Amino acid sequence: MNDRDPNLEENAYMNLHRQIPGEPEPRFEEASMLEKVWGRRWGVNNDVGRLRSVLVSRPDQEWQIMMQGGVYDERAQAWIGPDKMWYWSDHERPDLAKAQAQHDGLVKALEAEGVEVIHLEGPLANMTKSVFTRDPAIIVDGGAIICRMGVSYRRGEELPFTRTLAKLGMPILHTVHGDGLMEGGSFVWLKPDLAVVSIGHRCNQEGARQIGEVLQTLGVELLCVDNTGYGLHIDGSFVMVNEDLAIAFVQDLPWWFLARLRELGVHILDADLQDGAFGVNCLAVSPGRVLMSAHAERSATRLEKEGIEVLLVEYDELHKNGGGIHCSTLPLIRDKV
């Protein structure tokens, strides 16, 4: 005979969980919660605070297809793969040993600044742009947003990035999906509560909408600016180097955005046009201290006149693959400013 009182059991269940309710506070992004649940205070909310941890990917055997196949296109001034799944912007074939040595130099410069350097695990054999770790993810306060690469020859890089970040224990807050397009080089922090993303043929409005939803939860406003022409990412035109200073090519940026920066008290230093995109594509390792390509010495001189400390790194062989130092680094943890 079952003589249990179902009402008593139900009341006991209710009384138990009344004493142990769900707890929305502290918020997910608070350091105490991240450390307790995810092991570390993951994430960034600015582009200039002291860099603590960064993800890189040393060029390796995936470059072999660029060293052997393809056709040189005079109009594009580049070698292009027969399936249009890669390009190399130089008359000469890639020098893998030189590229590796230059990337090693970047890693040494980062480590000399006290930065923890983490290497991407298992880049795919046909992904010749994997060295540019900035693009497959955007790091925000509390974790990562996995991007969806805009062009077919980079689509697939998202998988090893997701695996690597998950193995580290970093929270994955969102994965851009549907017909959204987004690449991390198109994203810049302006202030802890304000960021900007550039829209073009690599990043579309739907990708920006999805990024904006994550940022809204964090209390961050997202601005959208249009790339000019076939410009890829905003980090070829605009990069923060201190809390109130950016280096930029102002002709690539809309007037309203420049006006908003003035309202924010963000000053702009013009990069030297002779340096090309790599006069802008630098990386702040702490407020007012940046790593910059030795190829961009004119822009570096301009920064130094403004009181910015510039550490030059040889990186010209990597430039030929379409990116620079900013492109080659994905900050995982920065100090707040």
Whether residue 289 has pLDDT greater than 90: yes
The number of residues making up the chain comes to 337
* CATH code of the region 27-334: 3.75.10.10
pLDDT, mean of residues 154-159: 96
Q: What pLDDT is attached to residue 83?
A: 85
Using alpha carbons, list the distances in angstroms from residue 63 to 125, 131, 169, 270, 278. Answer: 8, 10, 29, 34, 22
Q: How confident is the model at residue 229 (pLDDT cuts 50, 70, 90)?
A: confident
Dist CA 173 CA 310 (whole Å): 34
- 314, 95 Cβ separation under 8 angstroms: no
Given pLDDT bands bounded at 50, 70 and 90, which one contains residue 228?
Answer: confident
The rounded mean pLDDT for the chain is: 94
Pull the structure tokens for residue 130: 């994997």
Confidence of residue 214 (pLDDT cuts 50, 70, 90): very high
pLDDT at 168 exceeding the cut of 90: yes
Q: Assess whether pLDDT exceeds 70 at residue 265.
A: yes
Q: How far apart are CA 161 and CA 215, in angstroms?
A: 21
**Tell me, what's the pLDDT at 12?**
83
Question: What is the per-residue pLDDT for 84?
Answer: 86
Residue-level pLDDT at 7: 67
Q: Is the four-CA dihedral 277, 179, 194, 117 of positive or negative sign? A: negative
Among residues 157, 323, 111, 138, which one has the least CA distance to residue 236? 323
> Residue 113: is its pLDDT beyond 70?
yes
pLDDT beyond 90 at 182: yes
Residue 19 has pLDDT above 90, yes or no: no
For 39, list phi and psi in degrees, rounded to 5. 90, -25
Question: With 60 as the cut, is the pLDDT of residue 1 above it?
Answer: no
Pairing of strands 51-56, 238-242: unpaired
Domain ranges of the chain: 27-334
CB 225 within 8 A of CB 253: yes
What residues have CB less than 8 Å from 318, skipping those under 6 apart? 59, 99, 102, 103, 131, 324, 328
pLDDT for residue 190 is more than 90 = yes
* SS3 (DSSP) at 36: helix
C-beta of residue 200 within 8 angstroms of C-beta of residue 226: yes
- Cβ atoms of 317 and 88 closer than 8 Å: no
Tally of CA atoms within 13 A in the half-sphere of 241 that contains its CB: 31
